[in-house]
Structures are given as C-alpha cells and as structure tokens.
Amino acid sequence: MNILIAEDDRISLRILEKNIRDWGYESVMVENGEDALKKISCPEVRLAILDWMMPGINGLEICKIIRQQGHSNYTYIILLTGKDQQQDIIEGLEAGADDYMIKPVNFLELRARIQTGKRIIDLEDRLLESNRKLKDLACHDGLTSLWNRSRILGFLEDELEIAKRGNSLVSAIMIDIDNFKQANDKFGHFSGDIVLQEVAHRLKKNVRQYDRIGRYGGDEILVVLPRCGPADAMEIADRLRRAVGREKIKTPKGLLDVTVTLGCASTKAGGRTSAEKLIQSSDMALYRGKQHGRNCVISDGGDHPL
C-alpha cells in the first residue's frame, strides 16, 4: 500500500518517510497542497497523511475536494495539525478526514492509526469486489456465462437508439440448437447443459469484439450486431453455424453431433425498428430455417438459406 505524506517541513517529512518505510509501506512525499492533490488522486495511493497547514491548498481543503470528487477507490486520510481545540477536531472530521493527530506526532500511535486505516481500506476493497461480483451475476446467465435476457435486450435497445441517431444499421441473430429437447430427453439434462455451455462458448469465440451475445431463453441465444447490415449479418451467422458444427461435443454420454439454426433480421436504413419487432423478425426467420431442415441461416428478407 502506498502512503502519501504531505508536509511542508522537510525535516518532519523525512522523519515521517523513514518511519513509514521501516513499517513496510511505500511512501509518496510532497511539500505543498497542490502536489498533494495531484498525487492523492492516483489509484495506488490509498492512505494519506496530510498536514493541515501547507502552502497553497491546505490539508483541510484537500479533504473537502477529495470527498466531493467521490473516487471509486476510497482514500483514508489522517490529518496532522498543531490545533488541539475540540472545534478544530470537529472541523477536520467534518471536512472528510478519517482520523486526526496532534503534533508533535507520537510514532507508535501513528503506526497503530495507519494499521486501522489499512484494515478499513481492505474491508472497503472486499466490499467493492463483492458488489462487482453481485452485479456481474445479475447481468449474466448462470449456466452459459452469456449476458442474460434482460441485459441482452437492454443492449439491443441501446444499439437501436444509437442507430436511430446516427442513421446506421443494427442486425440481430436468433440462434436455436437443433433437436435440443430430444437430446435432453435421450441423454439427460446434465449432458444437455454441457451441450448448451459448449455451444455458447463456441459462439462467443466467433462474434466480433463489439457484438453482444446473450441467452434469450431455453436454448435460444440472441446476438446483437451494431453497425451491421443484412449481408454482413448473414455472413457472420454462417460463420457461427460452422463454428458450432465443426466438431462434436464431448458429453458423459459420448460425442454428440450438434448443429444450430439461425435467423437474421436487420433494421432498414433511415427506419425506426423496435427491439420487439427486430426480435420477432429474426424469430420468424429462425422458424423458417427449422422448416427448411435445420442447420442453416435464413434472413427475414427471404434470402436463400446458407
């Protein structure tokens, strides 16, 4: 953990730096408020020891600015000052300082307060990581790790809005695993889950970097293609079809031949298409592909199957 030390007295600064180094921490040293404000914004600085009285911006003002900015990584601040009146302490804490020490500094006490700050920072980091994982779980399908239904529909809505403003195209591909229900009934749901996971993995590896792919429901998978017209959508869809069917999928019941059918739909240039309409069109194309014999790509424009 890096500790910022902001102290305009060079002797005091060096003494603080030596003790902090001896305690096993890295330090960043500055002698004025402006430099302290720049350094305290660095992600690697998680704890700051600020002298209240410094040239330029003082420690109290830095506390206020940092708390108003609301950085994603919390910075624990210990304010040092010769002021020892109760009102001064209250003013420092209300400005955003986490702790307060009266000069001259007792270094055993300072070490204990730094350890307390580190524990709080560690707790904050664990909480942020837990929140990130919860948010990730809320947006992804638990089985396939693809975006879940609500998230992929949200992406589609967003891309349609962007396309409307920029007069560009958006395409959607609805994908269905051929004979998936029969495979589940014959080989069991555990093997079916493995098939769905592997199909999702192969599809995800073969979409463009800026495309979005999510589990729409059951064994249906939706791909959102920004800035993509009908011809490119058909080409991408056929690449996905071939990627899935190229190799058999290993399951506890043996190697299985798995294919997918894909239905493509695209917005019209200058037109306004709703997400519901685009999904409906891709779903109808998918249905025609199933009628055609599966393992193919069909567009809503009636293009010949690939």
CB 13 within 8 A of CB 31: yes
Lowest mean pLDDT among 144-148, 171-175, 265-269, 271-275: 271-275
Q: Give bridge partners of residue 6 from the DSSP assignment.
A: 30, 50
**Helix axis angle, 149-166 relative to 275-292, nearest 10°?**
110
Is residue 177 located within the same domain as residue 128? no
Mean pLDDT of the chain: 91
Is residue 45 located within the same domain as residue 182? no
Is residue 271 located within the same domain as residue 200? yes
Is residue 153 located within the same domain as residue 275? yes
CB 266 within 8 A of CB 285: no
Is residue 160 located within the same domain as residue 287? yes
Is residue 193 located within the same domain as residue 294? yes
pLDDT at position 133 over 90: no
So what's the pLDDT on residue 48? 94
Question: Does residue 144 lie in a domain region?
Answer: no
So what's the pLDDT on residue 44? 86
Distance of CA 109 to the CA centre of its chain: 39
Of the candidates 97, 116, 137, which is a domain's last residue?
A: 137
Both tokens of 72, joined, read 């994603």
Q: Which of 25, 19, 23 is nearest to 104 (CA)?
A: 19
Between CA 212 and CA 186 the distance in angstroms is: 32
Q: Are strands 220-226 and 170-177 parallel, antiparallel or unpaired?
A: antiparallel
So what's the pLDDT on residue 305? 56
> What does the pLDDT look like over 91-111, one tens digit per residue?
989 999 999 999 899 999 999
pLDDT at position 306 over 60: no
Is residue 158 located within the same domain as residue 178? yes
Is residue 76 located within the same domain as residue 193? no
- Would you mind telling me the total number of residues written for the chain in this entry? 306
**What is the CATH classification number for the domain harbouring 177?**
3.30.70.270
Question: Does residue 114 lie in a domain region?
Answer: yes
> Which residues are CB-neighbours of 146 under 8 A, at least 6 positions away?
140, 152, 200, 204, 213, 214, 215, 221
Q: What percent of the chain has pLDDT over 70?
A: 97
In this structure, how many other beta carbons lie within 10 angstroms of the beta carbon of residue 161?
Answer: 12
The position carrying tokens 């830095």 is: 62
Question: Does residue 306 lie in a domain region?
Answer: no
> What does the pLDDT look like over 243-297, one tens digit per residue?
999 999 999 989 999 999 999 999 987 667 899 999 999 999 999 999 989 999 9
Give residue 53's region: left, alpha or beta (phi > 0; psi -120 to 50). beta
Is residue 73 located within the same domain as residue 8? yes
User: Is 219 designated active site?
Assistant: yes
Q: How confident is the model at residue 180 (pLDDT cuts 50, 70, 90)?
A: very high
**What is the CATH classification number for the domain harbouring 103?**
3.40.50.2300
Point out the catalytic residue in the list 51, 141, 178, 219: 219
Is residue 172 located within the same domain as residue 126? no
Amino acid symbol at 248: K
3-state secondary structure of 305: coil
Number of domains the chain is built from: 2
Question: Does residue 305 lie in a domain region?
Answer: no
Is residue 10 located within the same domain as residue 128? yes
Of the candidates 137, 169, 188, which is a domain's last residue?
A: 137
DSSP 120-171: HHHHHHHHHHHHHHHHHHHHB-TTT-SB-HHHHHHHHHHHHHHHHHHT--EE
pLDDT at position 183 over 90: no
Domain carrying residue 110: 2-137
So what's the pLDDT on residue 140? 94
* Stronger pLDDT, 244 or 303, i.e. the higher one: 244
Q: What is the mean pLDDT of residues 178-190?
A: 90
Is residue 212 located within the same domain as residue 291? yes
Of the candidates 80, 108, 137, which is a domain's last residue?
A: 137
pLDDT at position 303 over 90: no
